[in-house]
Structure 1
Amino acid sequence: MIQAKCHCGAASLGLPTAPTEATECNCSICRRIGARWVYFTRQEVTLPAPQSTQVYVWGDRMLAFHRCRSCGVTTHWQSLDGSRDRMAINARLIDGLDWSAIRVRPFDGADTWKYLDEDDAV
């Protein structure tokens, strides 16, 4: 199992596999966080203890962004209403990733809600 953990280690997530692709979104929160998101189903991820994270919800109130209560690093987001089986993990929390081997896809979450590299998508 692959570990993604915050700076202080209090909020750690278990992932089934190392990512081969990540999304870099330019929406107002993602560009400030600097996250590169990798996606899994909720069943595939071992979540940190609930008391180790704090939730931030805003805007349309569809996503809950989690951050470590101790060091403040954003760890993941989940659907608030459970309508999405997919959740996102901040891949920057995975030590030792070879970013040159990972496809980083730019996503325009600020305007068009489209991947900006769709012309070359397989």
Structure 2
Amino acid sequence: MRLTLPSTPDSATSCNCSLCRRIGGPWAYFEWGTVKIEAAPDATESYVQGDRTLRTIRCRHCGCVTHWEPIPAEAGTRHGVHLGNFDPKLIASVRVRRFDGADTWRFLDE
């Protein structure tokens, strides 16, 4: 599986919600359809959380979560990419903001 970002993100988000706490981050966000995803049809597996607003995708080969897709996936919606799958220099080059997705739904570093 290969993901190609449309640009270097300006910032990324580290979230503490129940899902992100387990799979980590940080996450960079792009408009749906702008991230190039190359994978064989059976190379990934998805998980849909309780509120059914996003589908988390993982690689069947290594098990790493690669990204999440909005439900429904439509132009203009946000698409999250797990930056932990890229060169560490990329993460070091962007501001990583802390988000309280577990409680207040606010950034903790404002």
Q: Same fold (TM over 0.5)?
A: yes
**What is the SS of the residue equivalent to 1:105?**
strand
For 2:18, the aligned partner's letter is: S
Match of 2:103 in 1: 111
Q: TM-score, normalised by structure 1?
A: 0.79
Match of 1:8 in 2: none
Aligned residues: 108
For 2:65, the aligned partner's letter is: T
* Stretch of structure 1 that moved more, 104-113 or 43-52: 43-52
Stretches of 4+ aligned residues off by more than 3 angstroms: 98-101
- Deviation digits for residues 68-105 of structure 1 (CA, Å, limit 9, x no counterpart): 01110000001122366110000111114254432110
Structure 1 gap ranges (5+): 1-10
Q: How do 1:64-103 residues align onto structure 2 when only pairs under 5 Å count? A: 64-82=55-73, 85-103=77-95
Identity fraction in percent: 47
Name whichever structure is richer in helix by fraction. Answer: 1
Deviation at 1:20, TM superposition (A): 2.9
**What is the SS of the residue equivalent to 1:43?**
coil
Alignment RMSD, CA only?
A: 1.7
Structure 2 gap ranges (5+): none
| Kept in 1: contact 2:45–2:57 (CA 8 A) | yes
Q: How do 1:1-122 residues align onto structure 2 when only pairs under 5 Å count? A: 11-49=1-39, 50-82=41-73, 85-118=77-110
**What is the SS of the residue equivalent to 1:17?**
coil
**What is the SS of the residue equivalent to 2:29?**
strand
**What is the SS of the residue equivalent to 2:33?**
helix
Q: TM-score, normalised by structure 2?
A: 0.87
| Kept in 1: contact 2:83–2:91 (CA 8 A) | no
